[in-house]
Structure formats: C-alpha cells, structure tokens
Amino acid sequence: MNYKALIVTLLAGAVVAGGAYAVTTSLSHDVADTGAWREGGANATAGITQVPSSSPSAAPSPSKAPEGRNTFAGTTDGGEAGLAIAMNNGKAVAYICDGRKAESWMNGVAESGQITLRSAKGTGSLSGTYANGVATGTVTAGTKTWRFRIVIAKPPSGLYRSAAGVRKRLDASWAIVPPNNKQFGVRWVNGVPEAAPILDTTTNTATVDGAPYDVTPVQAPQ
C-alpha cells in the first residue's frame, strides 16, 4: 500500500468511527429523553433515603413528621359495638363489629389528626379525628351508624382475624376493646353471620367444636 492509499484508508476509518460515535451518542440521548433511565433509577433506589447535603445552598425540603404506630380501641357511644383502629405512619386499618351480624373492615388514611377510612365494597366507612391519645368520629357498617370516642389501647386490645390458612374452616374477626378487653366478633358460616367464638389472646387461637384455629393480630400496613 502506498502512502496516499494509507492516508485515504485512515480517513475512511475515522469517518466510520465518528459516525458510530454519533449514533451511539444519539441513542444515549434518546433513552435519556424518553425517561427510560429514570424509571430504572427509581426502581433501583426505592426505599433509600437521601441524606441532605451539608452545603448551605442545599436546604432539605419540608416533610411531615412521622405519625408513629398506635392502636385506638373502645366501644361506640352506648356500648353497642366494638371498634379498633390501627395506625402506622399515615395509614390505618379498622374493624367495627356489634358481635352479632353488623361488621366491617376498613382501611385508608390517618394523618395530621384526620382519619378517613372505607371498606373494599363501600358498605363501611369511618370519618374522624385524633389527638392527645383520643380518637372521635362516626363509623358505619351496613345500615348502622355509630358515633365513637376511643383511646389508645395496649395489647391484647386491638384487631384480630382468623389466619389465612384456616379461613375455609373458620372465617372470623374480632375487635377487643378496653378497659376489660371485651370481645366483639363475628363468624361467618355458609354465608350467615353469627357471634364469633372466644379468642384466647394468650395463644392467639379460637376453638370451634373442640378444634383450635390460629388467629392473627392485624396491624396497619407499613
């Protein structure tokens, strides 16, 4: 190969390489512009809390103080039904029951002193406020509506549900309320509600026809 041919070959190679670089750069920008990399980044960093920079120009954004985990429990006004509400950092789950047939599981938001809960099928709802260890408001299950004023309770007061593995044999729920850990529960048998069996809170079991069934305490989601 003579000197001139060598120069032509080198120039051609440079053009091809430059073209490849341009294509690669263009593709990289296309991916960034579509936000595809942002989706991947969000998934990869889920659950990681960023530490604010110590630089004076990088002030951390304001955020609400964590609500913490609390369980409120008690009877409705007049003592007709038992109600327990488990809260955890802005989320809440509640169970209302008259111990006969009216009952409802609800979930939703509990933050900044306000509670708004609703059942999955819309047959139950709860609206209220909480402050200084007391929750007050109105709760509905089916056609029944009650007012309530309940307080922060300690175990065994709270919410309970038959364990998932035994619900075909025992489909039951309980609200256990202070001051005497009174139980309000309903058991469903062939689609018909009836009073739930007594829940043994020392073993978290309920016995039906001589057979013990596991029961699970219910807490608000993380």
Instruction: Report if residue 74 sits inside a domain.
Output: yes
Instruction: Report if residue 58 sits inside a domain.
Output: no
Instruction: Report if residue 50 sits inside a domain.
Output: no
- How far is Cα 166 from Cα 109, in angstroms, rounded to an integer? 29
The b-or-e profile of 77-99 (16+ CB within 10 A means b, else e) is eeeebbbbbbbbeebbbbbbbbb
Q: Do both 139 and 214 map to the same domain? A: yes
Is residue 118 within 8 Å of residue 125, measured between CB atoms? yes
- Tens of pLDDT, residue by residue over 104-142, are 999 999 999 999 999 998 999 999 999 999 999 999 999
Looking at the structure of the chain, the number of domains it has is: 2
Average pLDDT of the chain, as a whole number: 77
Instruction: Report if residue 141 sits inside a domain.
Output: yes
- How far is Cα 54 from Cα 50, in angstroms, rounded to an integer? 12
Q: Do both 27 and 82 map to the same domain? A: no
Residues of the chain where predicted confidence (pLDDT) is lower than 70: 1-67
Instruction: Report if residue 53 sits inside a domain.
Output: no
Domain, as residue range, for 154 = 69-218
Answer yes or no: pTM beyond 0.75: no
pLDDT of residue 2: 53
Instruction: Report if residue 175 sits inside a domain.
Output: yes
Q: Side chain identity at 96, as an amino acid letter?
A: I
